A and B are shown apart, each in its own frame.
Chain A
Amino acid sequence: MINEVVQDEVPATGTVRRPRGRAIVVTSGKGGVGKTTTTANIGTALAVLGNTVVMVDADVGLRNLDIVLGLEARVRHHVLDVLEGKSTIEDALVSDKRVPKLRLLAAAQTREKDDVDTAAFRDLIGSLRDRFDFVLIDCPAGIEKGFVNAIAGADEAIVVCTPEVSAVRDADRVVGLLGDDRTVQLIVNRLRPALVRKGKMLSVEDVNDILHLPLLGVIAEAPDVIVSTNRGQPVALDPASEVGEAYRTIARRITGQDTAAPEIPREKTLFGKLFGGRS
């Protein structure tokens, strides 16, 4: 029965003529700015909108996307198994527990990034584009082989950056390495409006004065993200969460359903905190 669902929702190569899916790499240069969380939430939100989505963890050796999605116990095969012919793509795809059109292709945990052949990885992304509307690639930190592999098959990139000098500097370097052939958009993550007001944090404008990228979205720092990550439940599925709504808006902007300029989170007043609820 599960197989039928897969057949129905995720057509195998050649069975249905459809436009190729979009391959989007989520990258940053600096680690810990929220690439994996962003990938998980945008992927989830795109699937909830009705798109078929596969998320590919390109962080061979330090995978985490499976944890953020709460799927770590269900991973049987990984990217390298597929590349080395030990598993078919179908067998390696892990179905999400909650969202029917969402799949994960996990990274190998006990292997090295140097084990992945860049051309073969690019081809794998290509064949996933034949089957899914969206292929989201979670890039490892840094700009070494793992980065080169992760961006190889992507024709679009989302650069995730926190409002910190070091993250902006690393993001700027990554934008240069992504080249001119890809569409590159920016998500400013973990903004704290109260700190921006006090002059203790860069504003979205400050960040984009340096990066000059089309702004895809701004996500405020919120404790519910830490909680949802530890529990393996993307916050994009929480209808009451503001951050979840921000991710859902980003997904609609990616599909073209939402064309308004991204909203910048504002500081909450004490009154709003006490009486505003979570709306």
Chain B
Amino acid sequence: MSARRIVFTSGKGGVGKTTTTANVGAALAKSGKRVVLVDADIGLRNLDLVLGVEKRIVFDLVEVVEGRCQLRQALIKDKRLENLSILPAAQTRDKTAISEAQMAGVMEQLSALCDYVLIDCPAGIEHGFRNALAGASEAIVVTTPEVSAIRDADRVIGKLHERGMPVRLIINRIRPEMVRSGDMLAVDDVTEILAAELLGIVPDDEEVIDTTNKGEPVALVPDSRLAAIYAKIARRLEGELVPFTVLSAPSFLERLFRKAG
């Protein structure tokens, strides 16, 4: 059995690639899948922080490529889920430290060890982007409903199509009240422009800031609204037909109530 290898990419930075990779991975692992998360952002790694394992890093992706350690030695097990692991990026090297062929080789090795390899791509479309794509067979494009993010996502989708890679879309940080007031693009606008299959819609939520700072993926927080959304994304990845949650703007009373509660 060989794992599915999915790259999370966006073009524009800061739209939530790392957070999405961590949470989709955590949701898949929670449902029993064996998942390895790979940080391809050599020099600017952050996936380790989002998962709270930054102090446990001994070896990294570049050291695996250079044969300084075994692949299994570089994998760090998640604190909460034993079937979730991360392969961290090197922090003090740059993206040219590894080639596309070397990256593809490591992803191939990883896919013998698990059900899903999720690759967190760096921002931009330079060498690091090409490396991150090298070992992947499918792509999830993360975007936010902003003109600049959509333009960059469009450019990236073009590059993914050139490689014949299947593309699905997660629209992140939707603010229903801003969509309603006409100050933010709606989901339909985004999917129409990008013409890609929709995998998930994730609302903007302060909880992400807090859980990210704490190094705990929100997908693992019990009773969290976002955890339910990431769980649905995981089921869709597994091929299940799961209806999309209709995001409505909370009314004034709901907001008061939520603040009070």
Contacts of B13 in A (CB 8 A): 30-33, 141-142
Q: Is B44 in contact with A143, judged by CB distance below 8 angstroms?
A: yes
Stretch at the interface among A14-22, A61-69, A98-106, A241-249: A61-69
Residue on B with the closest CB to A200? B210
Q: Which positions 202-260 of chain B face chain A at CB distance < 8 Å?
A: 206, 209-210, 212-213
> Interface residue count for B (Cβ, 8 Å)?
37
Q: Is A230 in contact with B127, judged by CB distance below 8 angstroms?
A: no
Among B127, B146, B152, point to the contact of A62 (Cβ < 8 A): B152
Among A62, A68, A112, A230, point to the contact of B184 (Cβ < 8 A): A230
Beyond A31-B14, A226-B183, A229-B146, is A164–B213 a contact (Cβ under 8 Å)?
Answer: yes
Q: How far is the CB of B134 from chain A (nearest CB, A)?
A: 16
Among A32, A140, A144, A164, point to the contact of B127 (Cβ < 8 A): A144
Among A112, A145, A173, A200, point to the contact of B206 (Cβ < 8 A): A200
Contacts of A29 in B (CB 8 A): 44
Q: Is A227 an interface residue (CB 8 A)?
A: yes
Q: With the chains together, A144 CA to B238 CA distance in Å?
A: 35
Q: Is B75 an interface residue (CB 8 A)?
A: no
Residue on A with the closest CB to B156? A62
Contacts of B12 in A (CB 8 A): 31-32, 62, 64, 141
Contacts of A32 in B (CB 8 A): 12-15, 123
Q: With the chains together, A225 CA to B211 CA distance in Å?
A: 25
Beyond A32-B12, A33-B14, A230-B146, is A112–B125 a contact (Cβ under 8 Å)?
Answer: yes
Q: With the chains together, A226 CA to B151 CA distance in Å?
A: 15
> Interface residue count for A (Cβ, 8 Å)?
38
Q: What secondary structure prevails in chain B residues at the interface with A?
A: loop
Beyond A166-B49, A200-B206, is A142–B126 a contact (Cβ under 8 Å)?
Answer: yes
Q: With the chains together, A143 CA to B15 CA distance in Å?
A: 18
Among B49, B123, B147, B183, point to the contact of A31 (Cβ < 8 A): B123
Contacts of B91 in A (CB 8 A): 173
Q: Is B126 in contact with A226, judged by CB distance below 8 angstroms?
A: no
Q: A146-B126, A164-B212 are in contact. List 13 more A-B contacts (CB 8 A).
A: A62-B11, A62-B12, A112-B125, A113-B124, A140-B123, A142-B13, A142-B43, A166-B46, A169-B44, A169-B49, A173-B43, A195-B209, A227-B183
Residue numbers of B with Cβ under 8 A of A are: 11-15, 18, 43-44, 46, 49-50, 91, 94-95, 122-128, 146-148, 151-152, 155, 175, 178, 183-185, 206, 209-210, 212-213
